[in-house]
C-alpha cells in the first residue's frame, strides 16, 4: 500500500463550488503539507502542519483552508473554487528533521 494517499485523484468542478481534497499517510510522520504544482512554477506551498494542533500558512494560502483531523489525515478545502485554482495538488509528509519526504500521487483539479 502507498505511504501517502490522496482522494480524489481527479476532480472537475464549477466556479463557486466548495471542494475538499483529502490526504492520508501511513508513515507515522507528524509533519504534513499541501503543495500546488503549476506548469513552469514548480511546487508551491499552500499550508503545512507540524502536528494535529499546529497549522501554518504557506506562500499561497489565500483561497484555501485546511483541517488536520488526526496525525494521519490532512485535508485541503477550496471554499469557493475559481478557475485559477486549476492545478495539480500534492500532499506530502516529512520526518522531524525534514529530510525524509514522501509525496502523494497528486489530485488533478479543474475548475470551470
Partner 1 sequence: GENVEQHPSTLSVQEGDSAVIKCTYSDSASNYFPWYKQELGKGPQLIIDIRSNVGEKKDQRIAVTLNKTAKHFSLHITETQPEDSAVYFCAASPIYNFNKFYFGSGTKLNVKP
Nearer to partner 1, 41 or 82 (CB): 41
How is residue 62 written as a grid cell?
Answer: 489565500
Among 20, 45, 52, 72, binds partner 1 (CB under 8 A): 45
Task: Quote the least distance from Cβ 43 to partner 1, whole Å.
Answer: 4
- Residues sharing a CB contact under 8 Å with residue 76, sequence separation 6 or more, in sequence order: 20, 21, 23, 34, 46, 47, 64, 65, 66, 89, 91
Window 81 to 100, contacts with partner 1 (CB under 8 A): 90, 92, 94, 97-100
Q: Does 34 bind partner 1 (CB under 8 A)?
A: no
Give the rounded distance of the alpha carbon of 4 from its chain centre: 11
Helix or strand holding residue 43 (H, E): strand 42-51
Q: Does 12 bind partner 1 (CB under 8 A)?
A: no
Q: Does 63 bind partner 1 (CB under 8 A)?
A: no
Q: Does 55 bind partner 1 (CB under 8 A)?
A: no
Amino acid at each position: 500500500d502507498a505511504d501517502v494517499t490522496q482522494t480524489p485523484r481527479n476532480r472537475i468542478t464549477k466556479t463557486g463550488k466548495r471542494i475538499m481534497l483529502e490526504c492520508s499517510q501511513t508513515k507515522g510522520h507528524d509533519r504534513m503539507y499541501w503543495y500546488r504544482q503549476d506548469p513552469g512554477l514548480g511546487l508551491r506551498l499552500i499550508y503545512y502542519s507540524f502536528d494535529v494542533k499546529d497549522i501554518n500558512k504557506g506562500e499561497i494560502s489565500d483561497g484555501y483552508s485546511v483541517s488536520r483531523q488526526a496525525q494521519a489525515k490532512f485535508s485541503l478545502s477550496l471554499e469557493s473554487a475559481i478557475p485559477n485554482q486549476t492545478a495539480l495538488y500534492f500532499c506530502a509528509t516529512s520526518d522531524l528533521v525534514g529530510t525524509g519526504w514522501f509525496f502523494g500521487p497528486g489530485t488533478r483539479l479543474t475548475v470551470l
